């Protein structure tokens, strides 16, 4: 029978035939000799070629070997009456771990062993035992060396594969994922994971896992429990048993054995490598622990490289996507890098620019002395800042606010130059347009001031004789009426009315001139509305009754004051009431003052008359200077400036004037003003007029 490989005896490896032959010849014995293991299995025979043992004898030999009836110094005998033989079993002793077996001598009944022969056979059995023990120890050592060789070969192969993965692949999340797969394959573990709590990419778990692999919740538990300990102690944690695992809160019931090795970044622990085995697997050996720590060291390098590459990629992305031009040249000025903004702005591609000098952008606007100063500054290690006028590939000029900075290495030597340029072409054009606009504005203001002075002088020169004419005309009217000479009264009245009309026109022209000079002269104050309306009633009631009109004033209850410019408000209401009285005969004229808006923040002054009304086609022209809605000669009492000036005043006060009118029905003019002035300043684009010149009471002409 052949023993299995796992159940082999140390005697299986011995060849005792030659020394046994010499021994038997020296003793004068040529009996068949058997070498049996501790279970009675025959391993080899001497002088027993073709020997056949009966089943009974075989069983007796096995029984003798398994249950010796004597110690190692005494031989056991078995008699086989059928074969007329006696079997002497000399025990071989035992190795470190088990009994070896027996040396069995088959002797015929006709022979007997002397005491000397038995002693020599015992000594021979002892020598064979020592020999077998030495051979067994040698074989064990050889097997251990073989296993260590295989382990080191696998370890070297694993490290080689790990190094190739790091060297041949660009650092990325896929590389870390692949490293976990390599760890599982070569470390012969069930699962592996990289845990990086301080990174945006928190963990990478091997994809070559079994169906019951660690989930994210497990990784989170490992991170909560193990990482603080690994980070604080800066050493590897091995968890092989339940007692060690239950020392932690989150992984107490996790069905895995684990090794958590720190991943170092400079001198800090920024993560850990964790390998998992199910509970039915053997405990992690010291060799496995050493290999995991070596793997963690390698992965620390790749994680650090990964972090550096990520930072570099981030800065590269910033440089590439910045809207400013970035150019990097060598020390001689040859372009080595340009970003996307360079291509977009200049029209040159990277391929066209790299290897050439930035002189391809020269426009000819800067002389050689300028460029000599530039090179002198940057070669001394200084920054150079200037507004450059460059030329695109298409020939178009553009302006850049440019900074050239030298790059200096650790030895103090300039290696490269970096130029950053901001395209300010639009800004330059805008500033030029603003400068021209300001120049034009100043010229217009100067023209306006000159025009105002001209109109002021002219109106003064016209008012003086005109006031004299009106004064003497009124004296003549008094004398004529006193003498009862009514023949010339009508003609003199026309002269006086025309004089008043001309005086009003002169005042309006002066107001228009002041409006065009953009002078800001709004003076808000609190106005007593009932008092203002009372003054208007006193002024307009005689004239309204003279034309057969009924004049009515209405003020909403609790509406007492408004804060605005008093002179401008009074002038607007004077113009609106004057028009209502002028174009209404035997009708009704109403001025009402009401609050407006949900928060009552506005005030409405509404002038309503039952006069001739205004045609819809003419209403759009009411607020245009020198425009008239009524064109009949007998009623053309103004120069067409009153409503235009009133609307401009209303706008400067933060309001406006609207009109509703129907021919032969009447008109309604509504002035809407804020109850309190806007705290924000007036826009510089909105002209602020001077108050209208006071002309006293409205035109009293019929």
Write down the pLDDT at residue 632: 42
How confident is residue 6, by pLDDT bands cut at 50, 70 and 90? Answer: very low
Q: Are residues 524 and 665 in the same domain?
A: yes
What is the pLDDT at residue 478?
81
Residue 330 sits at φ, ψ, to 5 deg, of -80, -175
453 & 579 share domain: no
pLDDT range class, residue 506, cuts 50, 70, 90: confident
Is the same domain home to 636 and 580? yes
More confident residue, 684 or 122: 122
Residue 639, in any domain of the structure? yes
312 and 350 in a common domain: no
Does residue 243 sit in the same domain as residue 177? Answer: yes
SS3 653: coil
- How confident is the model at residue 636, as a pLDDT? 44
Partners of 654 in the β-ladder: none
Count other Cβ atoms within 10 Å, centred on residue 607: 23
Q: How far apart are CA 528 and CA 674, in angstroms?
A: 15
pTM of the model: 0.41
Find the domain containing 20 and state its range: 5-142
- Give the model's pLDDT for residue 394: 92
Count of C-beta atoms within a 10 Å radius of residue 594: 15
Residues 466, 588, single domain; the answer is no
Q: How confident is the model at residue 158 (pLDDT cuts 50, 70, 90)?
A: low
- Residue 611 three-state SS: coil
Kindly report the CATH number assigned to the domain that includes residue 622: 3.30.565.10
Domain boundary among 295, 318, 341: 318
Position 568 in a domain = yes
Task: Please list, in sequence order, all residues whose beta carbon lies within 8 angstroms of the beta carbon of residue 386, skipping any fewer than 6 positions away.
Answer: 374, 402
pLDDT at 180: 78
Q: Report pLDDT digits (tens) over 324-380.
A: 999 999 999 999 999 999 999 999 999 999 999 999 999 988 989 999 999 999 999
Percent helix / strand / coil, the chain, rounded to 5: 45, 20, 30
The answer to whether residues 262 and 236 touch, using CB atoms and an 8 Å cutoff, is yes
Torsions phi, psi of 419, nearest 5? -115, 125
Tell me the CA distances in angstroms from 193 to 166, 184, 207, 219, 281, one per residue in order. 17, 9, 10, 8, 18
Tell me the pLDDT band of 246, cut-offs 50, 70 and 90: confident
Distance CA 256, CA 207 (A): 17
Is residue 693 in some structural domain?
A: no
419, 449, 476: which is the final residue of a domain? 419
**361 and 390 in a common domain:** yes
Query: Helix, strand, or coil here: 347?
Result: coil
pLDDT in tens, 410-431: 888 999 999 999 999 998 888 8
Whether 243 shows a pLDDT value over 60: the answer reads yes
When computed from its CA atoms, the radius of gyration of the chain, rounded to whole angstroms, is 60
- What pLDDT shows up at residue 232? 86
**161: in domain:** no
Residue 40, domain member (yes or no): yes
- Bridge partners (DSSP) of residue 386 are 402
Within a 10 A sphere around the Cβ of 282, how many other Cβ atoms? Answer: 9
> Is 684 inside a domain boundary?
no
Check whether residue 227 and residue 124 sit in a common domain. no
Report which listed range, 154-163, 185-194, 392-401, is most confident.
Answer: 392-401
Average of per-residue pLDDT values in the chain: 77
Q: Tell me whether residue 162 is in a domain.
A: no
CA 647 to chain centre: 52
- For residue 360, what pLDDT is reported? 92
Instruction: Give Cα separations from 286 to 237, 257, 264, 281 (angstroms).
Output: 12, 14, 21, 15
Q: Could you tell me the maximum CA-CA distance found in the chain, to the nearest angstrom? A: 203
Q: For residue 363, what are the contacts with CB-CB under 8 A and spacing of at least 6?
A: 389, 390, 391, 397
CATH code of the domain in which 218 resides: 3.30.450.40
- pLDDT tens digit sequence for 397-411: 999 999 999 999 888
pLDDT tens per residue across span 76-104:
676 666 666 777 777 776 655 566 677 77
For the chain, the straight-line distance linking the first and the last C-alpha, in angstroms and rounded, comes to: 152
Helix axes 529-546, 566-582, angle to 10 degrees: 20
Q: Tell me: do 286 and 212 sit in the same domain.
A: yes
Tally of helices (H runs) and strands (E runs) in the chain: 16, 22
Instruction: Count Cβ atoms within 10 A of the Cβ of residue 67 and give its class: 0-12 exposed, 13-18 middle, 19 or more buried.
Output: exposed
Residue 214 is predicted with a pLDDT of: 53
The CATH number linked to 105 is 3.30.450.30
pLDDT the model gives residue 669 = 94
338: domain CATH number is 3.30.450.20
Q: Are residues 200 and 300 in the same domain?
A: yes
Look at the chain and report how many structural domains it folds into.
5
pLDDT at 167 over 60: no
Whether residues 339 and 292 share a domain: the answer is no
Same domain, residue pair 98 and 182 = no
Of 395, 419, 443, which one is at a domain's C-terminal end? 419
pLDDT, greater one: 212 or 546 = 546
**Euclidean distance between CA atoms 676 and 655, whole angstroms:** 11
Q: Are 343 and 320 in contact (CB under 8 A)?
A: no
Structural domain includes residue 230: yes
């Amino acid at each position: 029978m052949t023993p299995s490989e796992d159940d082999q005896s140390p005697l299986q490896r011995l060849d005792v035939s030659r020394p046994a032959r010499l021994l038997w010849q020296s003793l004068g014995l040529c009996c068949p000799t058997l070498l049996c293991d501790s279970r009675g299995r025959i391993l080899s025979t001497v002088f027993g070629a073709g020997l056949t043992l009966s089943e009974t004898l075989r069983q007796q030999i096995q029984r003798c070997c398994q249950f010796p009836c004597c110690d190692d110094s005494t031989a056991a005998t078995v008699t086989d009456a059928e074969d007329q033989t006696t079997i002497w079993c000399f025990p071989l002793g035992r190795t470190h771990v088990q009994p070896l077996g027996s040396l069995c001598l088959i002797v015929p009944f006709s022979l007997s062993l002397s005491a000397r022969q038995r002693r020599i056979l015992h000594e021979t059995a002892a020598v064979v035992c020592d020999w077998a023990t030495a051979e067994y120890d040698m074989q064990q050592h050889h097997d251990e060396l073989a296993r260590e060789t295989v382990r080191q070969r696998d370890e070297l192969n694993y490290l080689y594969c790990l190094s190739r993965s790091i060297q041949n692949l660009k650092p990325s999340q896929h590389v870390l994922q692949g490293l976990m797969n390599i760890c599982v394959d070569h470390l012969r573990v069930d699962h592996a994971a990289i845990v990086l709590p301080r990174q945006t990419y928190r963990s990478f778990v091997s994809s070559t896992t079994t169906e019951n692999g660690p989930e994210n919740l497990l990784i989170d538990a490992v991170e909560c429990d193990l990482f603080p300990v690994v980070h604080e102690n800066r050493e590897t944690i091995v968890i092989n048993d339940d007692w060690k695992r239950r020392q932690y809160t989150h992984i107490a019931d996790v069905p895995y054995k684990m090794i958590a090795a720190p991943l170092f970044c400079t001198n800090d622990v920024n993560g850990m490598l964790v390998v998992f085995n199910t509970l039915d697997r053997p405990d992690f050996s010291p060799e496995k622990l050493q290999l995991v720590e070596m793997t963690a060291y390698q992965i620390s390098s790749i994680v650090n490289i990964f972090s550096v590459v990520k930072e570099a990629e981030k800065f590269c992305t910033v440089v590439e996507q910045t809207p400013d031009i970035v150019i990097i040249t060598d020390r001689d000025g040859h372009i080595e890098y340009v970003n996307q903004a360079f291509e977009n702005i200049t029209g040159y591609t990277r391929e066209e620019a790299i290897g050439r000098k930035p002189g391809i952008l020269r426009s000819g606007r800067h002389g050689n002395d300028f460029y000599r100063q530039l090179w002198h500054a940057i070669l001394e290690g200084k920054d150079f800042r200037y507004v450059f006028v460059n030329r695109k590939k298409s020939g178009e000029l553009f302006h850049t606010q440019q900074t050239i900075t030298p790059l200096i290495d650790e030895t103090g030597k300039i290696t490269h130059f970096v130029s950053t340029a901001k395209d300010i072409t639009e800004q330059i054009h805008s500033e030029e347009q603003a400068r021209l606009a300001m120049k034009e504005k100043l010229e217009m203001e100067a023209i306006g001031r000159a025009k105002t002075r001209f109109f002021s002088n002219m109106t003064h020169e016209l008012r003086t004789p005109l006031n004299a004419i009106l004064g003497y005309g009124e004296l003549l009217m008094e004398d004529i009426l006193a003498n009862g000479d009514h023949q010339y009264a009508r003609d003199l009245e026309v002269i006086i009315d025309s004089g008043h009309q001309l005086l009003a026109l002169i005042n309006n022209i002066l107001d228009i001139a002041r409006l065009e000079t953009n002078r800001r002269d709004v003076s808000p104050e609190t106005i007593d509305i009932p008092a203002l309306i009372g003054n208007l009633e006193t002024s307009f009631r005689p004239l309204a009754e003279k034309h057969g009109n009924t004049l009515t004033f209405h003020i909403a209850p609790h509406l007492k004051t408004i804060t605005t410019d008093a002179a401008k408000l009074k002038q607007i209401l004077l113009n609106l009431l004057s028009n209502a009285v002028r174009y209404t005969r035997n009708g009704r004229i109403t001025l009402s003052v009401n609050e407006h808006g949900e928060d009552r923040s506005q005030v409405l002054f509404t002038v309503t008359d039952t006069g001739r009304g205004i045609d819809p086609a003419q209403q759009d022209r009411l607020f245009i200077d020198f425009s008239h809605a009524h064109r009949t000669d007998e009623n053309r009492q103004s120069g067409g400036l009153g409503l235009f000036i009133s609307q401009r005043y209303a706008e400067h006060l933060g309001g406006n004037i609207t009109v509703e009118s129907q021919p032969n029905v009447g008109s309604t003019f509504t002035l809407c003003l804020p109850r309190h002035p806007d705290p924000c300043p007036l826009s510089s684009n909105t002209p602020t007029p001077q108050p209208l010149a006071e002309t006293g009471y409205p035109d009293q002409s019929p």
